Structure 1
Amino acid sequence: MFGWFYRCAPGLSIFLVITVIVFAFSTPTPSLAGCSFKQVSRSSLYLPAQCLAGLTLSQVLLLAYTLITHITLLTFGIKLSWSLHHVTKGIKAVRRARELGIDPSGKKQQLPHDAHTRSMHTLDECLDEDFEYHGSDAQLLGKEVIHAVIVPNYMEDAATLKTTLAVLASHPRAATQYEIYLAMEQREPHVHAKASLLEKEMQTSFRNIESTFHPAGVPGEIAGKSSNVSFAARKIFQNYQNHPDADNVIITVIDCDSHLLQDFFNEIRRYHITSPSTAHIQFYISPFVFDRNAHASPVFVRCSDLLWCWAGLSSLHPGASISIPTSVYSLPLVLASRVGGWDADPTAIGEDMHMLLKTYFGCQGDIITKTIYSAASQCNVSSSLRNGSYWATYYDTLCARYDQALRHMWGALDTGFALQNTIRHRPKLRMNFFALWSLMWQAHFLSGHLLIMVLGTSVYSQVAPAANIHPALTYAFWLSARMRDASFVTMNVAFTFYHWYHEACVEARRRDMAHIENVGDFSRRTWAPAFFADRILFPVAGILFGSLPMMQAVISHFWTTRLVYRVSKKPSFG
């Protein structure tokens, strides 16, 4: 019974917010002299104390929660801009260090043509003081780590997988340090033939490449990314059981269409080697960017993917005590083994956040999230129609994006997982605990609550006589509307910072992948009308592909935890 309440917490909160709104508006309003809305709003932002008289508990709750949600909405754009600025600087600094001739091993290399005009730099000298890289380059000499890369996939095009592997194979350390695990589903038709073909073509490019096949019908497990990753991880644990190099194995989970630069793995190696005291509890998180087919995607799809990208980026600012991974992340083998690996039950459908939560509670909060300043390149979803009309293709792409959003929001089951583990493990009340729950609230509660409050209060304020609404509530609704206007401005500021971030990511990927076939276009953001529309329509996309699928998911959890896993169609690049 308690398990049902845990998993349904986000859905129950929806009805709690509705109940508070109903009771707040159904309470008779006392007559307060000098506290009419016009008198208060024209004077200042200050609300006189006498105007708070007569508030009931439900009205106090509604007033406070309305202001809290809107303050969070307003500060999100500011925090996001700060994170984008910081991450962009980091990406440029890491790339600049390599361009100046610094070998990833830590050695200074002679530049080919204009070395006489440049002084030799270490990576630390190339970075601004905001970026703390502990340890010296000498610590890296002669030391390596093994990167076990899990590539989960189901019914994915072989060409997409081959291109992803070709990008990894282009890295200087791939043949000696990368181990690839193709995490596949046994139920996929002809999956063994596809796996054998990929292994045969790429076997000389990596230290090792092998496939795992998650069997169908395992009790308590679901088909999807989480179960595929879990099954592949068991193979890695088996391969490195009692192995002398186990402490220097880093497991990386990516999507089948994720393109990673060599800087991603080099920076993980640097963090791991130069922080020996904390290497076993470091969880590595990468930002990501939709930079291949964004220009060809419908505006609402592009905006919804931007908002999804920003949700992860917003917690990568300096001083953040914890961050939540999205799609691409890494952690040491010893840390994954310590908490029992990845879960494969229905509550683990959002396997990236779920694994962070599992390691957090399994280590009593003693984990460190590290930002890797190398963005993972991703594709926007596309239509599965091959010969449809423009509008049919457009509509099919929107439907595909909604299915993907519903799958993302189904991860609200992690709230129940976190609640249960908070009660069971009672982690220390430190800064990262409160930061973690703040991020969970923003991910699984805020969008649905905000939509209900805005619609409920707006409709009731229009149909009910002004005398029936407490002046303090009227004032709070007026102030929150001004906050929404201001948040629209701060989000447009964030669009400008994202433009610079996007350009830095595209430039880094273009230089590294110029010689690799079928990596897709390099979608650049310009000031064209199509991209200008993003700045206006993003709130609509947030409702269509954020709030609505969120509420559908959390209400569905009242009777089921299982979601039919549908693979999102990705574009084909010839």
Structure 2
Amino acid sequence: MTNFFDRIFRTYPVKTHRALEMMPGTLAWFLILFPVWGSFFIPLVVAYFILFFDVYWFYKSFTLAATAFIASRKIKEAEKKDWLFIAKPLENFEKMSHIVIIPNYTESADKIKPGIESLFNQTFPTERLHVVLAMEKRESGAKIKAKSLIAEFEGKFGSISATFHPDIVGEVKGKSSNESYAAKIAYKKLVTDKVVDENFTTISSVDADSIFDRQYFSYLSFEFLRDSERHNKFYQSANVYYNNFWKVPAPTRIITFFGSLWRMALLVQKDRLISNSTYSLSLKLLREIGFWDTDVIPEDYRIFFKAFYKKQGKVSVQPIFLKTSMDAPLSSSYIGSLKNKYHQERRWSWGASDDPLFIKWWLTVPNVPFFKKTVMLINVLVDHTLWPVNWFIITIAANVMPFINPVFTRTALGYNLPKIAGFILTLTVITTAVMFIIDYRTREKHHRASKKRLVFFPFEFLLLPFVGFFLSALPALISHTQLMLGKRLEYKVTEKI
């Protein structure tokens, strides 16, 4: 069967790709408009669809709260352990090295510096950490910025160096092409010259503002060395947006609140855990699969699925139960900060542009466990498709029906639909309260606010109906529509001051 689909994709490469590109946007618009046109012709079906969706949303909220709670407990336990002490007795610990790629473009040296300091503060021996500043050659002042950072941290690591990625024809400007260029140079310098042993080295892709837990690389070394399948693994910590949590506007804070909990919760959902944002993997694995692709914007899901299918489904993600803290988008003005968050959501939701390739691999790559690859693909497709849809069905669908089909409201179900839907969604308030507690207990004291600020924090969630539309549903819908129409998205660096 894989040969059959492979022939189709080879015979009609452009048509098949375009057809699959249109799928996320087409499905999104169909589901959003279904309560409108469906209320005329099949109101009963629409009513049950809305109720089913509301129940599904409550289930998702409950699952998020439960898994975030479990993950937060595991993180608390992990933070108490001495991971260097645990890792040292393992065989080959003395051979263990870590390469950290820090792609950056327009971020100031002051913004990058805290992340490098978090590397210097690691419990793992810093002489076996190798930091690579992945600069963009086209950035004005890139060489001066790199030189100042290298001068400040020289001698504090096994090595700290910079690469300058040129604009190359056929590449897409962004993190993926930049870090691919940097990783290839680092590989030649460190492996070819026998500075590190490829078999006992990890490479980490990080954001310029990523601040690691001081035990991250000791914990990573432990997980890497004890695993016989270490060269088929990605390693993922809980990426949380705590660095400037109380400095960003309330709408941004609400979105990042849920985003941090969601990424934390994923650590205990093995079938849904995929590398995202800041992650690590075996250097040998990265070399075997050909490094990061240079023709894409979203790089984290792409690199994982590329490895997954090239290794016949043997690749998986190992959770690291520690937090890696990052910045939420922040500008010099309130409106500017909201615009930054909007553009960040546009870029993230552009991840749907990878769906055609994931579907193609699912259909054409042989010898991959069917159940495993199917569950993973469905999870990704559902997340991408429902991203722009959730808000419309949850917020307005049940209340729109009476205006479109007043006759249906005279039935028992039609009359009670808004009340039933409202009751189901009210239950999610309970799960949100649980999330408040988890969030408060998980954030370090220096990331907490005054008691007065904490008292008023829950009231910010009254903005959720507006925030959910403008900073989640709308940017995702525009990205999916743009993809559906065959338009491209230009990579735009999120401003973080």
User: In 2, are the aligned partners of 1:161 and 1:257 still within 8 Å (CA)?
Assistant: yes
Q: Number of paired residues?
A: 478
CA spacing shift, 1:201–1:342, aligned 2, 3 Å: same
The 5 Å alignment of 1:469-548 reads: 479-502=420-443, 506=444, 522-524=447-449, 526=451, 528-548=454-474
Q: Distance between the aligned counterparts of 2:297 and 2:101, measured in 1?
A: 16
Quickly say closer, same or farther: Cα 1:341–1:396, change in 2 above 3 A: same
Deviations along 1:54-109, one digit per CA (max 9) or x if unpaired, are x7xxx3xx4665455333321222222222222222222222223xxxx60438xx
**1:337 equivalenced with 2:317 (yes/no):** no
Which residue in 1 is equivalent to 2:346?
406
The letter for the 1-side match of 2:182 is A
Q: 1: distance between equivalents of 2:490 and 2:465?
A: 28
Confirm or deny: 8 A CA contact 1:312 1:324 kept in the other structure: no
Tell whether 2:136 aligns with 1:188: no
Distance 2:161 2:32 in 1: 52
Partner Cα distance (1:23, 1:463) in 2: 9
**SS of the counterpart of 1:288?**
strand
Q: Which residue pairs with 1:176 in the alignment?
A: 127
**Against the structure 1 CA distance between its residues 166 and 478, is the aligned structure 2 distance closer, same or farther, given a 3 Å change threshold?**
same
Residues 1:325 and 1:536: Cα distance change in structure 2 (over 3 Å)? farther
Aligned equivalent of 1:461: 402
Distance in 2, matches of 1:315 and 1:475, equals 36
Within 5 Å, give how 1:299-448 maps onto structure 2.
299-317=250-268, 320-345=270-295, 348-384=296-332, 393-425=333-365, 427-431=368-372, 433-442=374-383, 444-448=384-388
Structure 1 residues 453-500: Cα deviation after superposition (integer angstroms, max 9, x where no partner): 343452232342234888667766654433222223212222222211
**Aligned mates of 1:223, 1:465 — CA distance in 2:** 52
Matching residue within 244, 251, 263 for 2:215: 263
Conservation of the 8 A alpha-carbon contact between 1:181 and 1:212:
yes
**CA drift at 1:194:** 1.8
Q: Distance in 2 between matches of 1:8 and 1:463?
A: 29
Q: Contact 1:312 / 1:325 at 8 angstroms: preserved in 2?
A: no
In the aligned structure 2, how far is the partner of 1:460 from the partner of 1:467?
8
- One-letter code aligned to 2:161: E
1:8 aligns with 2:25: no
Distance 1:474 1:315 in 2: 39
> Contact conserved, 2:133 with 2:146, CA < 8 A, in 1?
yes
> Map of 1:555-570 to 2, 5 A cutoff?
555-560=481-486, 562-570=488-496
Mapped to 2, the partners of 1:28 and 1:401 lie a distance apart of: 38
Q: Is the 8 A contact 1:154 1:567 kept in 2?
A: yes
Cα 1:462–1:22 change in 2 (3 A) is closer
Aligned counterparts of 2:226 and 2:299: Cα–Cα separation in 1: 28
Distance 1:197 1:242, change over 3 A: closer
Give the drift of 1:202.
1.6
Residue 7 of structure 1 contacts residue 417 of structure 1 at CA under 8 Å; is this kept in 2? no
Q: Is the 8 A contact 1:292 1:522 kept in 2?
A: yes
Q: Letter of the 1:486 partner, please give it.
A: L
Report the CA distance shift for 1:281/1:28 in structure 2 as closer, same or farther (over 3 A).
Answer: closer
Q: Give the TM-score, by structure 1 length.
A: 0.76
Q: Amino acid of the residue matched to residue 73 of structure 2? A: K
The 1:15/1:544 distance shift into structure 2, 3 A limit, reads closer
Residues 337, 524 of structure 1: alpha-carbon distance in 2 compared, 3 angstrom cutoff: farther
Distance, in Å, in 1 between the alignment partners of 2:461 and 2:376 is: 29
The gaps in structure 2 that reach 5 residues or longer are 1-14
Which of 446, 461, 475 is the aligned partner of 1:549?
A: 475
AA aligned to 1:460 is M
Structure 1 vs Structure 2: percent identity of aligned residues? 23
C-alpha spacing 1:352/1:142, structure 2 compared with 1 (3 Å): closer
2:297–2:491 contact (8 Å) kept in structure 1? no
Larger mean Cα displacement after TM superposition, 190-199 or 237-246: 237-246
CA-to-partner distance for each residue in 1:377-405, whole Å, 9 max, x for gaps?
Answer: 11222223xxxxxxxx2222212221222
Distance 1:436 1:242 in 2: 40
Provide the residue aligned with 2:80 in structure 1.
96
**DSSP-derived class of the 2:215 partner:** helix
Partner of 2:8: none
Q: Which amino acid aligns with 1:201?
A: E
Distance 1:342 1:474 in 2: 54
CA distance in 1, matches of 2:183, 2:392: 41
Q: 182, 198, 202: which is aligned to 1:232?
A: 182
Give 3-state SS (helix, strand or coil) of 1:460's partner.
Answer: helix
For structure 1, the residue ranges without an aligned partner over 5 or more in a row are 30-54, 108-136, 385-392, 508-520
Instruction: Tell me how far 1:431 sits from its aligned partner.
Output: 4.5
The root-mean-square deviation of aligned C-alpha atoms, in Å, is: 2.7
- 1:208 alignment counterpart: 159
Q: Structure 1 residues 141 and 566 mapped into 2: Cα distance closer, same or farther (>3 Å)?
A: closer
